[in-house]
A and B are shown apart, each in its own frame.
Chain A
Amino acid sequence: MTTAVDRSARTASLITPLIAGRPGGGTATATPAAPPHASDPHTLVLRERALTARRAVIDMAATPTGCHLGGSLSVTDILIAALDRTADDPDSEVVLSKGHAAAGLYAALHATGILTADPVPHYGAASHHFTGHPGPSVEGVRFPTGSLGHGAPYALGWALSRRLSGRLGLGIAVLGDGELQEGLVWETFQVAAAQRVSNLVVVVDRNGGQNDGMVADISPQPQLAARFEAFGFEVAEVDGHDVGALRALLDPDRADADRPLAVVADTVKGKGLRPVEGKAASHYVTIDAARAAAWKRIVR
Chain B
Amino acid sequence: MTDVLELSNITKRFGALTANEDVSLSLAQGEILALLGENGAGKTTLMNILFGHYTADAGEVRVFGDTLPPGKPRAAIAAGVGMVHQHFTLAGNLTVLENVMLGSEPLGRLRSNRAAARKKLMAISDRFGLPVDPDSKVSRLSVGERQRIEILKALYRDARILILDEPTAVLARPEAERLFETLRGMTKDGLSLIFISHKLHEVMAASDRVAVLRGGRMVAERRTSETSPAELAELMVGRKVERPVREDHRIGAPVLLADRITVADEGETKLDDISFTVHAGEILGIVGVSGNGQGALGALLSGLMHPSQGSLTLNGADAGHLGPRGLINAGAARVPEDRHAEGAVGEMTVWENAVLERVRSTEFSKLGFVRQAAARAHAADLIKRFDVRGATPDTRIRLLSGGNMQKLILGRCLATGPRFLLANQPTRGLDEGAIAAVHAELLAARAEGAAILLISEELEEAVQLSDRIQAIVKGRLSQPVTADEADPRRLGLMMAGVWESTDAA
Same assembly = no
Using CB atoms and an 8 Å cutoff, list the residues of chain A in contact with chain B: none
